[in-house]
C-alpha cells in the first residue's frame, strides 16, 4: 500500500511537470493538461492513479492545498492592486456574484429537476472563478494591468465567497444542521456573516504576527519563505477549527495584507510561493480529475449541456456588463472579461467532499452536485481558459507596451494617462523605496537601470512601441534611448530634457526632446490662442479621445471621407500619407496604409478605430 502510494504521488508530480512544459510550449493553460492527465491516468483511463489510495487523507490534503493556493494568489495580488479597479471589483463580487448565484440556481433546478436546496448549493460553488485557472491564463496573455487585476481580484474574492456560502447552504439549507451545536437551524445570512467575520479576524491577527516576524526577526530569504508558508497553513487550520471554511477567508485576508505591506524579501517570497503553488496545483487537479465518472457526466444529458452553455453565453456576460458599465474598460475589454470565467479548484474540491457527505446522509440527487460542478469546470476550462489567448487576439485588446524610464511624478502621471487610454505602461525604476511606493499605488514596475538592455528586455522592450525616458538625468535619458534603439530596433523615442541646451543633441540622435520650459510655453500658448481646443483636450481620456490608426484593408479602404460611416461623435481630423499631412475634405479618398487621426467622443472613437484597422 505505502509503495503504491509513493509511486502514485511521484507520478502525479511528474505529470504536473510535464503539463507545465506542454503549457509553456503550446501556450495553453496548464490546468487543461492537468485535468486531461487526471482523467487519462485515473480509473476511467489507464488506472495508474487510484484516488482510493489517499483514503481519508484526501480531505485534509485538498484543504491544505487550497490554503496555499488562495494565500499565494492573494499575496501576489495585494490589496493595493484591488484598489486599482475598486468600482468594478466591488460590483463584480457583489452584483455579479449575486446574479450568477440566483441565475444558476434557477437553471440547475429547471433543466435537471433537482431540489431547490441542492440547486442553490451547486450555484454557490459555481460562483467561484478561481485564480488557479485565471492567473496562468493571464500570464500567457498581454492585457492591460486593470483587466488582469479585475479578473484576479474576482477570482480570489469569489473563491472565498463560494466556499463559505456553499458550506452555509450545505449545513443549514441541505442537512438542516446548526454548526454551533444548538440543534436549531440558524439563519443562513447570520451563519455566512459569522464565518466571514471569524476568518477576517483570524486573518488580520495572523498577518500582524507574521508581518512583525518578517520585519524584525527574519534575516534571510529562506527564513521569510518558511515563515510565510507556515503562516498560510497554520492560520488555515486554526480558522477552520473555529468555523468550517473560515480558513479560506483567513488565508485570503492574511495574503492580501502581507502582500500590501512593506516586508523584506517580498520578491523571493512571491517566487517561492509560486513554485509551491505549481506543485500543489498539479497534485490536487490531477487527483480530483481522477475522481471523475465520465458515464455519470454523460447522464446529465442535454440539460447539463444547456446549463454550461447558458452559464458561458448568458449568465457570465450579463454579470460582467452590469458590473463594468461606466468604468474605465473599453467595450472589447469588457467582452474579453465576459468570455473568461473558468471555474477552478474551490468548486471542484468542495463539491467532491459535499457529494460524499450527502450520499452518506441519504440525500436524493447527492451525486448530482459533483457531476454538475465538474461538467461546468471541464467545459469552461477547455473553452474559456483554453480559448482566452484567441479571444484576446480577436478582440484586439492586447496593448503595445510603453516603457517609461523613471518613476518620478512625471513618469507616474504619464503612466496614469496612458492607462486611461488603454495602453500598457511599464515603469522602470532602480530605487527600492520608489519601487515599493509605485507597486503599492498599482503601477506595473520593473526593478533596474533603464540603460541596461537586460532590464529593458525584462520590461517588454521586444513588444514595446515606444520608450519614454523621464528621469532627472539627461545622460541617463539619452543612453536609455540609444540602448532601446540599438538592441531592440525601437524608433519612437521620447525623452525629458532637463537642460534646454541639450535638446539639440537629443534631436541629432533621433530622440524627440521635451523640455519643461517648452512644454510650459506650449501650454500657455494653447490657453491664449486656442482656449476652446485646450478645454476640449483636458477631457481626453475621459469623455473625449484622440486616436491614430493605420488603415488596413477594410470596407473603408478606397472610399471618400464623406462616404465612410463612422460612429456618431467621431470625425477624421487628419490623414498622413507617405510622410505628407492631409487635412481631409469630404472628397479625400482613404487608402490602405494611411495614418488617420480621429477625434470625438471616447466610445465613438474606439468603435471607429475598430472599423478602420
- Residue 531 φ/ψ, nearest 5 degrees: -60, -40
Mean pLDDT of 510-527: 83
Mean pLDDT of 100-120: 92
Mean pLDDT over the full length of the chain? 81
Q: Of 1-10, 60-69, 275-284, 587-596, which gets the smallest average pLDDT?
A: 1-10
Of the two residues 97 and 563, the one the predictor is more confident about is 97
Give residue 369's pLDDT. Answer: 87
Give residue 183's pLDDT. Answer: 43
Query: Residues 408-426: pLDDT tens digits?
Result: 888 888 888 887 776 788 9
Q: What is the dihedral of CA 485, 489, 491, 492, to 10 degrees?
A: -80
**pLDDT beyond 70 at 365:** yes
Enter the pTM of the model. Answer: 0.70
CA 530, distance to chain mean position in Å, is: 42
Distance in angstroms (rounded) separating the CA atoms of residues 611 and 605: 10
Give residue 377's pLDDT. Answer: 87
Query: Residues 220-272: pLDDT tens digits?
Result: 777 777 888 888 888 888 888 888 778 888 888 888 888 777 777 766 776 65
Give residue 104's pLDDT. Answer: 94
Mean pLDDT of 299-321: 93
- Domain with residues 2-394, CATH architecture: Up-down Bundle (1.20)
Here the cell at position 336 is: 474579453
User: Using 50, 70 and 90 to split pLDDT, how confident is the model at 405?
Assistant: very high
Query: Residues 130-182: pLDDT tens digits?
Result: 777 787 778 777 787 778 888 888 888 888 888 778 877 877 655 554 444 44
Q: Which CATH number fits domain 540-612: 3.30.70.1450, 3.90.78.10, 3.40.1180.10, 3.40.50.300?
A: 3.30.70.1450
Give residue 393's pLDDT. Answer: 82
Closest listed residue to residue 199, CA positions, set 251, 274, 249, 136: 249
Q: Of 40-49, 231-240, 311-320, 434-443, which gets the smallest average pLDDT?
A: 434-443
**pLDDT beyond 90 at 364:** no
* Pairing of the two strands 493-496 and 512-514: parallel
Query: Residues 166-180: pLDDT tens digits?
Result: 877 877 655 554 444
Query: Residues 457-489: pLDDT tens digits?
Result: 888 888 888 999 999 899 999 999 999 999 988
Give residue 382's pLDDT. Answer: 84
Give residue 107's pLDDT. Answer: 95
Q: Give me the count of residues in the chain.
A: 613
Query: Residues 57-74: pLDDT tens digits?
Result: 777 777 777 788 778 777
Mean pLDDT of 31-35: 81
User: Using 50, 70 and 90 to split pLDDT, how confident is the model at 34?
Assistant: confident
HEC profile for 593-611? CCEEEEEEEHHHHHHHHHH
Residue percentage of the chain with pLDDT more than 70: 89
**Domain 401-525 class in CATH:** alpha beta
Distances (CA, A) of 503 to 94, 405, 495, 510, 525: 53, 18, 9, 11, 20
**pLDDT beyond 90 at 572:** no
Closest listed residue to residue 512, CA positions, set 467, 460, 575: 467
Mean pLDDT of 76-81: 60
Distance in angstroms (rounded) separating the CA atoms of residues 39 and 56: 21
Give residue 210's pLDDT. Answer: 87
Give the helix ranges, DSSP H, for 217-344: 221-242, 246-260, 266-290, 294-299, 301-310, 316-324, 331-339
Look at the alpha carbons of 471, 476, 482, 488 in this order and tell me if their dihedral is positive or negative: negative
DSSP string, 23-41: HHHHT--HHHHHHHHHHHH
- Give the DSSP H or E segment for 487: helix 474-488
- Domain residue extents for the chain: 2-394, 401-525, 540-612
Mean pLDDT of 498-519: 87
Using an 8 Å Cβ cutoff, are 11 and 41 in contact?
A: yes
Amino acid at each position: 500500500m505505502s509503495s503504491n502510494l509513493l509511486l502514485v504521488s511521484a507520478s502525479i508530480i511528474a505529470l504536473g511537470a510535464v503539463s507545465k512544459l506542454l503549457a509553456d510550449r503550446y501556450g495553453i493553460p496548464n490546468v487543461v493538461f492537468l485535468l486531461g492527465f487526471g482523467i487519462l491516468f485515473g480509473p476511467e483511463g489507464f488506472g495508474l492513479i487510484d484516488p482510493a489510495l489517499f483514503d481519508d487523507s484526501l480531505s485534509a490534503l485538498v484543504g491544505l492545498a487550497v490554503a496555499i493556493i488562495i494565500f499565494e494568489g492573494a499575496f501576489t495580488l495585494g490589496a493595493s492592486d484591488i484598489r486599482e479597479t475598486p468600482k468594478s471589483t466591488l460590483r463584480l463580487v457583489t452584483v455579479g456574484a449575486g446574479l450568477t448565484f440566483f441565475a444558476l440556481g434557477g437553471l440547475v433546478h429547471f433543466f435537471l429537476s433537482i431540489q431547490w436546496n441542492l440547486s442553490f448549493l451547486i450555484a454557490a460553488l459555481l460562483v467561484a472563478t478561481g485564480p488557479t485557472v485565471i492567473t496562468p491564463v493571464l500570464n500567457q496573455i498581454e492585457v492591460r494591468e486593470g483587466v488582469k487585476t479585475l479578473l484576479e481580484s474576482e477570482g480570489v474574492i469569489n473563491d472565498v465567497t463560494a466556499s463559505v456560502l456553499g458550506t452555509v447552504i450545505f449545513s443549514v439549507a441541505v442537512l438542516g444542521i446548526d454548526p454551533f451545536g444548538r440543534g436549531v437551524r440558524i439563519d443562513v445570512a447570520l451563519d455566512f456573516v459569522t464565518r466571514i467575520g471569524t476568518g477576517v479576524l483570524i486573518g488580520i491577527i495572523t498577518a500582524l504576527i507574521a508581518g512583525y516576524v518578517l520585519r524584525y526577526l527574519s534575516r534571510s530569504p529562506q527564513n521569510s519563505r518558511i515563515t510565510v508558508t507556515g503562516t498560510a497553513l497554520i492560520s488555515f487550520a486554526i480558522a477552520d477549527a473555529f468555523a468550517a471554511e473560515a480558513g479560506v477567508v483567513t488565508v485570503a485576508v492574511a495574503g492580501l495584507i502581507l502582500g500590501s505591506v512593506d516586508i523584506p524579501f517580498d520578491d523571493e517570497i512571491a517566487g517561492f510561493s509560486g513554485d509551491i503553488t505549481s506543485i500543489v496545483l498539479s497534485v490536487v487537479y490531477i487527483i480530483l480529475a481522477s475522481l471523475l465518472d465520465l458515464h455519470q457526466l454523460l447522464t446529465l444529458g442535454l440539460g447539463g449541456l444547456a446549463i454550461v452553455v447558458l452559464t458561458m453565453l448568458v449568465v457570465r456576460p450579463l454579470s460582467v456588463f452590469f458590473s463594468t458599465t461606466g468604468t474605465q474598460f473599453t467595450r472589447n475589454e469588457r467582452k474579453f472579461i465576459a468570455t473568461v470565467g473558468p471555474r477552478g479548484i474551490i468548486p471542484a474540491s468542495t463539491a467532491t467532499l459535499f457529494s460524499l457527505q450527502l450520499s452518506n446522509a441519504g440525500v436524493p440527487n447527492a451525486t448530482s452536485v459533483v457531476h454538475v460542478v465538474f461538467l461546468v469546470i471541464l467545459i469552461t476550462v477547455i473553452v474559456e481558459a483554453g480559448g482566452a489567448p484567441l479571444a484576446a487576439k480577436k478582440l484586439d485588446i492586447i496593448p503595445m507596451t510603453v516603457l517609461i524610464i523613471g518613476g518620478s511624478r512625471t513618469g507616474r502621471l504619464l503612466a496614469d494617462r496612458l492607462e486611461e487610454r488603454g495602453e500598457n505602461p511599464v515603469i522602470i525604476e532602480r530605487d527600492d523605496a520608489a519601487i515599493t511606493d509605485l507597486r503599492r499605488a498599482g503601477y506595473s514596475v520593473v526593478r533596474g537601470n533603464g540603460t541596461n538592455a537586460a532590464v529593458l528586455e525584462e520590461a517588454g522592450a521586444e513588444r514595446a512601441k515606444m520608450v519614454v525616458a523621464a528621469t532627472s538625468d539627461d545622460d541617463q535619458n539619452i543612453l536609455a534611448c540609444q540602448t532601446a534603439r540599438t538592441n531592440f530596433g525601437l524608433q519612437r523615442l521620447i525623452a525629458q530634457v532637463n537642460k534646454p541646451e541639450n535638446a539639440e543633441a537629443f534631436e541629432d540622435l533621433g530622440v524627440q526632446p521635451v523640455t519643461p520650459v517648452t512644454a510650459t510655453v506650449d501650454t500657455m500658448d494653447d490657453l491664449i490662442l486656442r482656449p476652446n481646443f485646450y478645454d476640449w483636450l483636458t477631457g481626453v481620456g475621459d469623455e473625449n479621445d484622440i486616436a491614430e490608426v493605420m488603415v488596413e484593408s477594410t470596407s473603408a479602404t478606397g472610399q471618400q471621407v464623406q462616404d465612410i460611416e463612422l460612429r456618431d461623435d467621431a470625425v477624421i481630423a487628419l490623414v498622413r500619407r507617405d510622410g505628407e499631412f492631409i487635412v481631409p475634405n469630404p472628397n479625400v479618398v482613404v487608402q490602405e496604409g494611411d495614418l488617420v487621426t480621429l477625434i470625438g467622443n471616447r466610445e465613438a472613437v474606439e468603435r471607429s478605430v475598430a472599423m478602420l484597422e
